[in-house]
Amino acid sequence: MLMITEALLYAATLPLTGKSYRKFIRYSVNLWSRAGRCAGDWADHEEKSRNAIRAAVADLRQKRTAVVLGSGLLRDVPIDDLARDFDTVVLIDLVHLASVRLWLAAKGYRNVRLIERDLSGYDDFSAGQEPEPLGFLRGVPYLDFVVSANLLSQIGRGVKRRHEAEAAGRMPEDTVERLIAAHLSGLSGLSCRHCLVTDIAYAVIDRNGKTHEEADLLHGVAPPPAKAVWTWPVAPLGEESRDYRIEHKVIAGW
């Protein structure tokens, strides 16, 4: 039954998505499916993410336009609060699933805009330009708030996959690190309030609590100081293995 639902969601999203972004629909559907299976285990992470964003905007004097980078399934974004408090909310991601579009339509938000965009900066960098993936934000009028919502490690993952598929020597060896750093630099260079929520490391842990593998999801790039830190059980026991679970370390700052 789940496979049928996934197929229907894919089919419904396909005509709503630009041709250059359709290759990412499968990943978004897979994420939607896992989020449903792991809803109980992910609930605390999602609530902490929403609370970090709420805290970041709590004392803003002007709330005209808010931009959410990596809006995804909106489970980790307090969209109700943002849509209520801001004049305009812009949601940016590679794909906006039909289920998300339908939910937003049912809520009746008239001030929420959806934009498809590759936020990695990879194409410009491969064309020889200095990476400035968030430079477009300078053209957003009345911008008062930007949040990068559990996006940065996914940029690193996608860039690493593309970089490894390139012919040797075509791209700089430090492409992943430079594009992660460019995202952080783009956020810190904004003249408005910004918030970063991102996972920065993962660990593979067995049933006895022994850690078998660890990795830095930001590839050595130092994140800004965190105001909140927590653990996200991305793959609880039974999701990917009966013997191991995968936990991510998440930080939030603003």
Confidence (pLDDT) at 253: 98
Pick 2-253's CATH classification: 2.60.40, 3.40.50, 3.30.2310, 3.30.70: 3.40.50
Size of the chain, expressed as the number of residues it contains = 254
Residue 62: predicted pLDDT: 97
pLDDT at 2 over 80: no
Task: Note the pLDDT tens digit of each residue in 124-140.
Answer: 999 999 999 999 999 99
Banded model confidence at residue 3, pLDDT cuts 50, 70, 90: confident
Its pTM stands at 0.96
| Distance (Å, whole) CA 166 – CA 175 | 11
Q: Which segment of 113-122, 163-172, 179-188, 212-221 scores lowest on mean pLDDT?
A: 163-172
Judged against a pLDDT cut of 90, whether residue 175 lies above it is answered with yes
Largest CA distance in the chain: 53
**Model pLDDT, residue 166:** 84
- pLDDT tens per residue across span 56-101: 999 999 999 999 999 999 999 999 999 999 999 999 999 999 999 9
| pLDDT at position 70 | 98
Q: Give the mean pLDDT of the chain.
A: 96
| Contact criterion met (CB below 8 Å) for 134 and 183 | yes
Average pLDDT over residues 104-119: 97
* Exposed / middle / buried, residue 19 (Cβ in 10 Å: 0-12, 13-18, 19+): exposed
The model's pLDDT over 207-224, given as tens digits with 9 standing for 90+, comes to 999 999 999 999 999 999
Percentage of the chain exceeding pLDDT 70: 99
Contact 203, 250 (CB under 8 A): no
H helices of 108-243, in order, are 122-126, 152-165, 175-188
Residue 218, SS3?
coil
Pairing of strands 143-149, 228-235: unpaired
> If we measure between CA atoms, which residue out of 174, 177, 169, 173 comes closest to residue 216?
177
Q: What is the pLDDT of residues 13-65, one digit of tens each?
A: 999 999 999 999 999 999 999 999 999 999 999 999 999 999 999 999 999 99
Closest alpha carbon to 249 in 185, 207, 186, 205: 205
End-to-end CA distance of the chain: 42
Q: Smallest Cα–Cα separation from 32: which of 96, 102, 112?
A: 96
Assign 105 a pLDDT band (cuts: 50, 70, 90).
Answer: very high
pLDDT at 168 over 90: no
